Structure 1
Amino acid sequence: MAKSPEGEHPHKAFGWAARDPSGALSPFHFSRRENGDEDVTVKILYCGVCHSDLHTAKNEWGFTNYPVVPGHEIVGVATKVGNNVEKFKVGDKVGVGVLVGSCKRCEPCQQDLENYCPKVTLTYNSIGQDGTKTYGGYSDMIVVDQRYVLRFPDNLPLDAGAPLLCAGITVYSPMKYYGMTEAGKHLGVAGLGGLGHVAVKIGKAFGLKVTVISSSSKKESEAINKLGADSFLVTSDPAKMKAAMGTMDFIIDTISAVHPLLPLLSLLKMNGKLVTVGLPDKPLELPIFPLVVGRKLVGGSDIGGMKETQEMLDFCAKHNIAADIELIRMEDINTAMERLAKSDVRYRFVIDVGNSLSQ
């Protein structure tokens, strides 16, 4: 007979969980495993609210296993380390991102691309190596194998740095892999939300010319004057879209809602690359004709491996890049989720777990 979430492991934990497709979150008692020789126990101080959390809480992708404690943009302090842990010590500032386990033996793992491991263990809504369910960062503590723990740079703010553990690496990794690092090239960023606004900052740090592509002009001033974008393109303006055809080397598509790809493909130069990192809950239509006649490429990317994620954190620390956030208390999470569904956030909610999560 399966044990209850409270009794699976020895360490009592407390968080907020969704229990059905309504997505409503409420207090939840569960347990974490004992700190093993390779483990780091983390007291969670902050956790970002990703659009994936909303999709999962509402079972919009169809594979949620309730109850689910979301959260994979975790920053905290190491409170215990195992006997074989050498990279971390008690008191270190650390981060935990989207994954907490992999097989460590397959080709992706051997190439430090654990995120593509066929047996990857996600931070929540996944089954761990011990056969029990994983619970995420909307909680007071977590125990993680040292391989999947990140050193958090001293000069990154803990709260505004938390979203980098998903939003940051989700845009940094494709920029590196698809060659979006050559100064002077033109990058389009489709969608100016949690992912998009970080993509603007990282793109500028690489020396790219950055244009924000949006369905509305309401964020234009903020994109240019605050985030540093070079220009702003509204897709509902036919004249400006026509003028911008064939001007961009790359586009990162961060949009998580269903949307047409043809307008984006038309903006690319010959040999241009459109890389999608948003995850709509329904398939998108991909027109082939513009790919063929323009020798264009459509690709995807899914977060990054641990080595690259640490590289991204260090890069952001060097260039003073953090997310623009709204800090909320845990009890405000359902209101935040409702606002997130309406794209009513500038630009990432972060839960002040350490100061607000109480039983």
Structure 2
Amino acid sequence: MSTGDGWDKSETIPQRLSAIREQLELLASYLDPAALRERVAALEAEMGEPGFWDNQTAAAKVNGEHAKASRKLQGFEQLQADAEDLDALVEMAAEDPEMAGELAEQIASVETRLAALEEERLFSGPYDAGDALVTINAGAGGTDAQDWAEMVLRMEMRWADKRGFDVELLEVSPGEEAGIKSATFKVTGDNAYGLYGAEKGVHRLVRLSPFDSANRRQTSFAGLEVAPIVDEVDDVEIEDDDLQIDTYRASGAGGQHVNKTDSAVRITHRPSGIVVQCQNERSQTQNKLTAMGMLRAKLLEQRERERQEEIAREKGEAQDVNFGSQIRSYVLHPYTMVKDHRTNHEMGDAQRVLDGDLDGFVRAELLRTAGTATPAS
């Protein structure tokens, strides 16, 4: 029986140990621990130079790279050491049956950590390693759709928390009766953009409507967009004449000051039709700066999408580039099931998924797009 981490727990112990050794070799060829060790040492030397912190921005970038490289190296070295200890544990368990439980735990631990590290190989895009700007929009379905959009927002933010990401809610536009029309949040952490790329598309909900007096079944839709956040986007040109900037009073959390001033900012980029808004900051100036960063990120994502479309056309590949492409269904009635239509990955415990358990779905999609899994028929 296959589990969400990609390992088949019905395999025998020798088979699992063999698979672990094979995956470690592949991971070592990808990570190149020797080169990674040299890079960590070089960064440490740079951080030890006089005046390193004089340029705070550059220093923070180096410090961040050092922390990420160190975590990756230490994780691999510890995993390698624990994997090597498994052979000794197997021998001990053969002589002492009471050791069987500890052996099973250690194998499962190594498999889980190996799957997490191996995830690194699935990110090949130019922005996959960076942070992400995630936008949720209510689709067709009226009040039910707006309520569903809020549920998707909660689910995606909870998943980010489970992954250990930093999450900042930038804007929420409340629905007329319930839920939200749209919301945008920023996710900061390793591979945030690469991971959230697997959630991009339309999420479909089937349930008994809590807003229908007859309690009839309702189908609702919510769309999820993802844009990369990068430090330097000088090549994304934005002309002042192309912008329409509107201010309005922020709604929702923020305190008395926010609600009494036109601090929220909405920017429309006329050539692309992209609209961004920010209301989480206290001042209009801060909201405008944040909104401009959001606009650059979305323009960058649009350009990257167009580049992928061009590559697909040159290869003669049919590619669905529609924002409306449905990726996953969440059925709460007449049975409970969440199924991804791209990979056929599914889970019967819908509430667990809605509470942010998305790792299995995301990993299945990353494997599919990396060409290491069979796509859904």
TM exceeds 0.5?
no
| Greater RCO (CA < 8 Å, at least 6 residues apart) | 1
TM-score (norm 1): 0.25
TM-score (norm 2): 0.24
Bigger radius of gyration among the two: 2
Whose helix proportion is higher, 1 or 2?
2
Whose strand proportion is higher, 1 or 2?
1
